Each structure stands twice: as C-alpha cells, then as structure tokens.
Amino acid sequence: MEGRNSIHPPSSTFKYLQSIFYHLPSIMKSSISFVCQECGYDSPSWLGKCPECGTWNSLREFKTQKSLHSQGLAGRANLKTFESTENVKPRTLGEIKSSEKERLSTGFSEMDGVLGGGIVAGSVILLAGDPGIGKSTLLLQVGLTLAQTNSNVLYVSGEESVEQIKLRALRIMEHPKQKEQFKLLSINDADTIVEVVQDAKPSLLIIDSIQTMESRAVGGMAGSIAQIRYATALFTRLAKTLSIPTILVGHVTKEGMVAGPMILSHMVDAVLFFEGEKTTNTRILRSFKNRFGPVDEVGIFSMEEKGIIEIKNPQHFLREYSSKTSGSVLASTLEGTRAFLVEIQGLVVSSKLPIPRRVVSGIDGKRLELLLAVLQKHISLPIGMMDVFVNVAGGLKLTDRGTDLAICLSLFSSLKNIPLIGTVAIAEVGLLGELRTVPYLEKRIKEAQKLGFKNIISYNAHKTLSEAIRSLGK
Ligand code: TYD
Ligand code: MG
C-alpha cells in the first residue's frame, strides 16, 4: 500500500511529462548528432544498431555548428538573400506560369525521352551510376551541346581539374564551338558555388559530383551523409528559387545506392541511373523516379572512343550476329517500352570439377540455376555434371523473364550440337516446365518479324518447354 501512495496521481504525472516535453527542444539542441552512414537516420545519441535500416555500427558522430540551428534547415540563411517575397504570396493557378514549354533539350533524343521531353526549368535531376561508367562524359556532352544553342552552362566539378575536363572536351569534340557559353569551375565548396550561381545565373547547372561537395555549415567530411544531404538541399533550393535546371551526379557506392543516391531520391525531381558493364560499350539510361515524365522509358547509348553516342537502331545488339554454330538463340527483350532482339549464347561442356561451373554474363546466375533444374527435371537433359556458360552478346544486362526460353534453347542447342540459326524464343519458363506469357508479347513478336525472323517460338504456339523443344524437330 505504501508503494501505491508514493505513485504520482495522474494529474501530477501529466504535469511531469509536460515539463519534460516542454524542455525537450532545449535538451535536444545539442551540437552533436549521430548519423547512420547507410540510410541517413539522425539520432541525438549513439546507438549500436540503426533503428531505421537495422544496420549495426553505422552511426557516426557529426558536429553541427551552433549557427546552423539559428539558421534553420538546409542553408535557409544562405538562400534567403535571393528569395523574393513574391514566392510567399499564395497565387491562383491562372497566375502561375506554366513551365511545360520551357523544357531544355539535352541534345540526345534518348535522354530527352527518358526525361519526358527534355529538362524542365528549375528541376533537379540526380544522375546516378557506378564510378567510371560515363556520367561525367555524358553531362559534358550535354553541356557542350546546350552551349551551342546559346544556353549558358555552368559545369562544376569537385573531382577533376578544369584542365582535365578540357582534355576530355577535346577528346569529345575537336573544335568545341561557342566555348564562351560553356563555363567550368573546379571547386568543392557548396556555399561558394551558390554565390557563383546567383551571379552567373546559368541556364543549366551541372554538379559533378554531389559526394564531393562540402559546406562550412555542416560538420563531417565531403561524402558524409550529412554533407550530401545538406548540399542536395542547398542546390535544390537554389534551382527552385532561381529556376535553374540542375543535374547532380551521384556515385553509386560499393555498399549499394543507399549511402548515396537513394537517400536523396525524395529531395530531387528525377533520379536517373546510368548503367552498363564496364567491359562493354553499351550504356542504358533508366529513370527510377521522374516527377515530370515516365519511369518506364530507357535511353540506349554506346561509349565510344570519342564520347557517347545514342543508339536508336533496334538492330544495334545484333550487329555482330552471324551465328551458324550451335548454342545461339535470339531473345526478344523489353527495355522500357521498346523491344530489342539480342543474341543469347549458351555453352555446355562436360566438367572436370566436382562442382560444375556456371558462369554468366548479362543474366542472373540464380535464374540460370533454376532453368538448369527445369531442363534436368522436365526435359531430362543430362546437364547436372556439365559446365554451363551463358553470355548475352552486345553487353545488355537482362532481368527480363521473357528471355528464359531463349536461354533454355541455347543450352539445349549447345548440348545437342544442333544449330538454331535465326530462331527467336519468347516466353518465361515456370518451375513445372510450363511456358508463361510475358508483357508486350505481340510487340516483341512484331519486332522479330520486322527484322525478318520467321522462326519465332513463343507462348502463343507452345505451352510447355518440352513442346517447344519438340517443335524444333531435331
Ligand atoms: P567518366 O565519364 O569519367 O565516368 P564517371 O564520371 O561515371 O566516373 O568515364 C570514364 C570512362 O570512360 C573511362 O574509363 C574512359 C572512358 N571514356 C571513353 O571510352 N570514351 C570517351 O570519349 C571518354 C571521354 C571516356
Ligand atoms: Mg566523373
């Protein structure tokens, strides 16, 4: 009973909690915060495991200058100077200028398509990709092309010196015209960039890369989550207030995109990924998020000796197709909403190893394991003790299940040593050996027919893998 008496009555408990909440902001106004390096979760105290993403030992200490608290969020003080009061006045729809017409063309119709018709005024685009994939080259070309049409382009690099960029520019275009419209700056200081941009008011701003940008207002080194977020917020505000379209380059780090571009995706208008195997020339520009356009469009490019060129010809991936030998089957795959024909090459040889090798290039290794199991079980192919190699010619990375049947047939063709010249296969293969239909089947078939291929094996004609194999008549 004594214990009971010592408990605060409900009203005083409420007052006690109220006083804690009242003082909480001042208690929390610490100049140190702990930020998760994986997802950017911000905590006032150190924690062993991030409560947001569950990663262990990922919180790092950051000292935030007191002045930032007084400035408010994300460089508000820095940007206040150029924010006009007009922006604070509520306006009717009729009073708002439509920016639809103000799209800037990048000079690459493939890139314009991915963006939904070009770059929207004041939009912020994050161009993400592996280091060395060609992001700087692509943007330099975009910048140089735009500069030729009287647009002022400011290319800010935090990674390379202006001399290095000039060398690259000379490699791309031997005599860049309208050079005065294209300005370069090699700097890491985000605050100074804001000042330069306010003065120069370029029609396109390129920041290469967001990971190298640093502001005095935040603690931590360039590349830390706090710095990346701050710089992105700063440039986004700058872009919106001055209506300057901005492209930010973001490297995808080894740990995955989480530590880089993904934590920024909600802050920007569009996230584009530039992908490809570094060993091949093919590059694909994909949109992951786009406030002003579709997300299922892709742009296809090729990294050449003198810069990047766009690939509009659907036959591009078949330019080396001349196969008369066994192991080659064509697949009609979908990239975005476009169908492309690609050559799948399979090689099956007897293995000398206790665990046979499965080597893939351009397809998922786990998918191959599954297809091999189906071939063994439902077609009785003695493939278990064989080394299996699969390659997608032309450098495309396929995740499309519509290419399953082509993979299976290429392995069958190699194992039985039966050439399947000009055969196009389109279907997903299920675990029971059944064929399944795939999105845009008619479009894929049409693309194959357009290129003159008549022998098309698809879900339309056959419902099981064994039926499809029997139809080969071999
Ligand atoms: P880069 O644009 O620097 O990649 P990122 O900015 O994504 O890190 O491209 C680097 C690679 O591209 C490098 O290996 C050289 C190659 N390259 C070409 O093949 N052709 C060219 O015209 C240029 C400029 C680069
Ligand atoms: Mg680069």
Tens digit of pLDDT at every position of the chain (474 positions): 344 444 444 444 444 445 444 444 444 444 677 877 666 677 888 888 888 878 888 777 766 544 333 344 444 445 544 555 556 788 888 887 765 557 889 999 999 999 999 999 889 999 999 889 999 999 999 999 888 887 899 999 999 999 999 999 988 876 655 567 889 999 999 999 999 999 999 999 999 989 899 898 877 777 778 888 889 999 999 999 999 999 999 988 765 544 555 678 888 999 999 988 878 888 999 988 899 888 878 899 999 998 999 988 777 788 778 778 899 999 999 887 888 899 999 999 999 999 999 999 999 999 999 999 999 999 999 998 999 999 998 878 888 999 999 999 999 999 999 999 899 999 999 999 999 999 999 999 999 999 899 999 999 999 999 999 999 875
Nearest CA to ligand 1 atom 22: 307
Neighbour tally for 357: CB within 10 Å? 12
CA angle, 114 then 138 then 178, to 5°: 110
How far is CA 59 from its chain centroid? Answer: 26
For ligand 1, atom 13, which residue shows the shortest CA distance?
Answer: 132
Question: What structural domains and CATH numbers belong to the chain?
Answer: 19-76 (no CATH), 109-310 (3.40.50.300), 318-473 (3.30.230.10)
Q: Which amino acid is at 129?
A: G
Ligand 1 contacts CB of residue 278 (under 6 A): no
Ligand 1 center to 111 CA (angstroms): 18
Task: Please tell me the residue having the least CA distance from ligand 1 atom 18.
Answer: 305
CA 138 – ligand 1 centroid, Å: 9
Tell which atom from ligand 1 comes closest to the C-alpha of 307: 22
Cβ 209 under 6 angstroms from ligand 1: no
Beta carbons of 269 and 291 less than 8 angstroms apart: yes
The number of C-alpha atoms within 13 Å of 273 and in the hemisphere containing its C-beta is 17
Integer-rounded Cα radius of gyration of the chain: 28
Whether the CB-CB separation of 235 and 192 falls below 8 Å is answered with no
Residue 133 near ligand 1, beta carbon < 6 Å: yes
CB 444 within 8 A of CB 339: yes
Q: How far is CA 17 from the centre of its chain?
A: 46
Distance from the alpha carbon of residue 282 to the mean position of ligand 1, in angstroms: 13
CB-neighbour burial class of residue 10 (10 A; exposed 0-12, middle 13-18, buried 19+): exposed
CB of 134 sitting under 6 A from ligand 1: yes
Task: Check if the beta carbon of residue 107 is closer than 8 Å to that of residue 176.
Answer: no
Ligand 1 pocket test target in 156, 303, 305, 309 with most atoms within 8 Å of CB: 303
Write down how long the chain is: 474
Q: Rounding to the nearest 10 degrees, give the CA dihedral for residues 328, 332, 334, 335.
A: 50
Cα separation, 139 vs 209, in Å, equals 11
Q: How far is the CA of 13 from the centre of ligand 2 (A)?
A: 58
283 CB near ligand 1 (under 6 Å): no
Whose structure tokens read 């804690």? 20
